[in-house]
Amino acid sequence: MKRLKGKIAAITGAADGIGHAIAKAMAAEGACVVLSDIDADKGEAAAKALRDGGAEAEFIRCDVAEEGDIRAMIERTLTWGGRIDVLVNNAAVAIGGMPVHEMTDDQWHRLIAVNLTSVFRGCKYALPHMIAQGSGSIINMASAQGHIGLDGWTAYAGAKGAVMAMTRQMAVEFGPAGIRVNSISPGTIATPMNEGVIAQMGEAVARAWVKMHPMGRIGRPEEVAEAAVYLASDAAGFTTGVDLRVDGGLCVTPRYVPDLV
């Protein structure tokens, strides 16, 4: 029995990386998936590949920094699927790698718009429909960096910490309506986001990441997707307000200062 059979799921940032892996995994478990992303070419191709494989998948271009795009993405999901069972607020940008006092206001505002305000808006537009249905599962992508410190990522960590706090608040507020709200905190995962960080900071950072994780490697997007499938499924029917860490043990290690030279 497929774990998400018949569920309608919308995923932001689904053209690549973790969001793409979540879309693929949810489709494989029988969900009808709405992929959305700022990158229309990649997103259309990703949705087509899923359809070619026999899944029900649609793509809508959505820049999560734009309120109208998020509203349209939720409306399109409802028009297409008739309901919205699962919302994955996944899209984010990695603006960091610099001390917080060297960050510009523009960088700060861009990060908060894409990584935090987007979560508020996704929930804002999905919740009325989930309340009317009497059910729903919202999954917000947080980060190990919302739990532990890493040089140069104060703003990113601040947004992720806020995502986790909002997740707990909404779990309390909407539990009585049958809506579950959880977050996932990945450790370092092999995605284009981190290819960008390596390009910015150098190969040494990639070696350091491996050393930081007790599992002795970084994670795969599919390993995060598996957690999202679980949280979306009825098997997690009594799980809400949780942050599920998929981090190879990163958050339970003492701070390890790698040799970056």
Ligand X SMILES: NC(=O)c1ccc[n+]([C@@H]2O[C@H](COP(=O)([O-])OP(=O)(O)OC[C@H]3O[C@@H](n4cnc5c(N)ncnc54)[C@H](O)[C@@H]3O)[C@@H](O)[C@H]2O)c1
Q: Which residues are catalytic?
A: 156
Residue 65 Cβ vs ligand X, minimum distance, rounded to whole Å: 5
Sheet of 136-141, strands arranged across = 57-61, 32-37, 8-12, 86-89, 136-141, 179-186, 243-246
Encoded amino acid at 219, one letter: G
Between 1 and 106, name the residue whose CB sits nearer to ligand X: 106
CB of 230 to ligand X, least distance (A): 16
Cβ proximity to ligand X: between 123 and 134 the closer is 123
Place of tokens 């030279």: 261
Q: How far is the CB of 186 from ligand X (least distance, A)?
A: 4
Nearest to 176 by CA among 258, 242, 241, 100: 241
C-beta of residue 183 within 8 angstroms of C-beta of residue 161: no
Cβ atoms 61, 37 nearer than 8 A:
yes
Q: Which is nearer to ligand X, 75 or 131 (CB)?
A: 75
Please, which residue, 84 or 184, has the CB nearer to ligand X?
A: 184
Q: Which residue is nearest to ligand X (CB)?
A: 17
Which residues are at the interface with ligand X (CB under 6 A)?
12-13, 15-19, 37-39, 62-65, 90-93, 114, 141, 143-144, 186, 188-189, 191-194
Q: What gap in Å lies between CA 223 and CA 208, rounded to an integer?
A: 21
Query: For 242, how many CA atoms within 13 A lie in the half-sphere containing its CB?
Result: 15
Instruction: Identify which of 76, 73, 160 has the alpha carbon closest to the alpha carbon of residue 114.
Output: 160
Residue 246 beta carbon to ligand X: minimum distance, rounded to whole angstroms: 9
Least separation in angstroms between residue 104's CB and ligand X is: 18
Closest of 9, 3, 247 to residue 138, by C-alpha: 9
Closer residue to ligand X in complex, CB, 131/206: 206
Round to whole Å and give the CA distance between 141 and 16: 14
